[in-house]
Amino acid sequence: MENFLIFIDAADDAVMYPVSRLRAMTVAADATILCKFDNSIGGTSDNDHDVVTITCTADKEKEVFVAIAQQLTRNVNGPVVVVDDVTGNHCHPNISSCTITLIAA
């Protein structure tokens, strides 16, 4: 079974992606990590992708990267809650929130 990453930014705003759909995680600015995933709602080109923006403590981005990777290796057969802004459950204490952006075709 493949691992899944879960991101929740509001009571009715959540996504779950298989890890295989993760394209990249990059530090876009201080305290901002962009997680790019293959499009989930019908994108047709390589430029169509969903983005989950994780806000974290400044200069702790690497620690967040490592925490996500560690969660994936520990949770081999199930979903990993990376950010849940509703419950405050985050996979690392330096994560403060996330924003989900789905790119429509």
For residue 68, count other CB atoms closer than 10 A to its CB: 22
Residue ranges of domains in the chain: 4-101
pTM over 0.95: no
pLDDT digits (tens, 9 = 90+) for 9-45: 998 999 999 999 999 999 999 999 999 998 877 666 6
pLDDT of residue 40: 78
Residue 4 has pLDDT above 70, yes or no: yes
Placement of tokens 């969660």 in the chain: 71
pLDDT of residue 73: 83
Residue 48 has pLDDT above 80, yes or no: no
